[in-house]
């Protein structure tokens, strides 16, 4: 897998307010779709881990900084890097840009969770190894 993982999303009409500016709650919904694609690319599609293996990756913390507005019709590029892997958590950094201009960034902590008991669980060994292989050291901005 390339590090960082990259994907693109178009800002659709429903992602924006009446002025055509991206609406921040939509950003979080888009980010969730990027996470789903990231896990698919890793080899653990959510439909499989959720329905067959009965574990998931809920967000337990998220922090975002908005640098510049984005607008209806623009294509955003998402860079996803893994910063840290714990026993049952992973810290992911998202950097979102448009045509080379940073628009926003987010640091997100996901936890491995048993979907029936609603408690955190240790990462399966193969998942933890795959996540650890993607760790990118944090740098100051």
Domains of the chain: 5-132 (3.10.129.10)
Cα separation values, 54 from 5, 34, 46, 50, 111, Å: 25, 21, 10, 5, 14
- The string of pLDDT tens digits covering residues 78-127 is 999 999 999 999 999 999 999 999 999 999 999 999 999 999 999 999 99
Contacts of 93 (CB under 8 A, 6+ apart): 80, 81, 82, 83, 105, 106, 107, 108, 136, 138
Query: What stretch of H or E contains 125?
Result: helix 125-132
- The string of pLDDT tens digits covering residues 21-56 is 999 899 999 999 999 999 999 999 999 999 999 999
pTM, two decimals, is 0.91
């Amino acid at each position: 897998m390339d590090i960082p993982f990259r994907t693109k999303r178009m800002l659709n009409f429903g992602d924006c307010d009446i002025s055509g500016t991206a609406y921040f709650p939509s950003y979080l919904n888009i980010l969730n779709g990027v996470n789903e694609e990231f896990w698919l690319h890793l080899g653990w599609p959510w439909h499989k881990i959720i329905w067959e293996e009965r574990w998931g990756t809920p967000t337990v913390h998220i922090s975002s900084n908005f640098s510049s507005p984005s607008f209806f019709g623009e294509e955003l590029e998402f860079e996803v890097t893994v910063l840290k892997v714990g026993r049952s958590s992973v810290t992911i950094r998202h950097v979102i840009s448009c045509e080379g201009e940073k628009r926003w960034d987010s640091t997100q902590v996901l936890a491995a969770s048993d979907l029936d008991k609603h408690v955190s669980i240790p990462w399966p060994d193969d998942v933890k190894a795959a996540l650890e292989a993607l760790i990118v050291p944090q740098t100051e901005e």
